[in-house]
Chains A and B, each alone.
Chain A
């Protein structure tokens, strides 16, 4: 698990992505360019563990995670009162429209298709953060 040094005035973003290349690019852009604290995990169970113990401003979930996949994580988060309004963006691949639809049905706020522009991802995240408030502290 990657946990960028937390600072109290910075938004904490959970990134669940098992591909190290994608994770490195996303973490870099969010932490260096967008000034966010990022906690990166590589599987669904770890994502739920982070969500249970940290106050998050938003989550970015890859749909194809090993074990509990991103849609499973999304469903579990939305079952929790704490995370019903948490901004969540799904990462998906071309040709997975059914996953995208299922994601929206489960309560995803947005999605991006790989390969995506990291700048676009940051812009979409900022848009969601302007609309939502962070989750309540644990």
Chain B
């Protein structure tokens, strides 16, 4: 995998192998339905100075991102969680950056799903 790629395609490829396009689409839909609201909640918590809520939301986001191979989202969320568990609120731009990465990640997942559906296997890189 390219170290700069926002997604590790192996995770979605494994899902495709296990359950085909139906499972892949189901998991992407679940991610798209559950993670953006968490990113919005994180932004609100950061604005309100609620550091533990920031940590909880960041942890939920990183868990979901890790399971589908969204490495950039995972890394950003992990940084926010670590800071928050240390009692520090994120920099002002960080929650919005995470929310943007989540949206871009959903696009990357959908693109990768199309490649897998087309029988292309695991691409060397997958990105928006």
> Could you tell me which A residues sit within 8 Å of B by CB distance?
18-22, 24-25, 28-29, 32-33, 64, 66, 93-95, 114-115, 117-119
Contact = CB atoms under 8 A, between A and B. Distances in A.
A24 B78 CA distance: 22
Given A20-B34, A21-B34, A114 B23 contact: no
B27 interface: yes
Nearest to B11: A115
Contact of A114 (B14, B56, B63): B63
B92 interface: no
Given A20-B64, A28-B23, A119-B18, 9 more contacts: A19-B34, A19-B60, A19-B67, A21-B27, A21-B63, A64-B59, A114-B63, A115-B67, A115-B74
Nearest to A33: B18
Task: Decide if the interface of chain B is mainly helix, strand, loop or mixed.
Answer: helix
Contacts, number: 58
Contacts of A114: 63, 66-67
A66 B78 CA distance: 18
Contact of A25 (B34, B35, B67): B67
Nearest to A116: B67
Interface in B31-73: 31, 33-35, 56, 59-60, 62-64, 66-69
A115 B27 contact: no
A69 B27 CA distance: 25
Contacts of A18: 60
8 contacts: A19-B67, A20-B33, A21-B31, A25-B15, A95-B82, A115-B67, A118-B18, A119-B18
B103 interface: no
A95 B58 CA distance: 15
Contact of B63 (A32, A93, A117): A93
B23 to A, nearest CB: 6
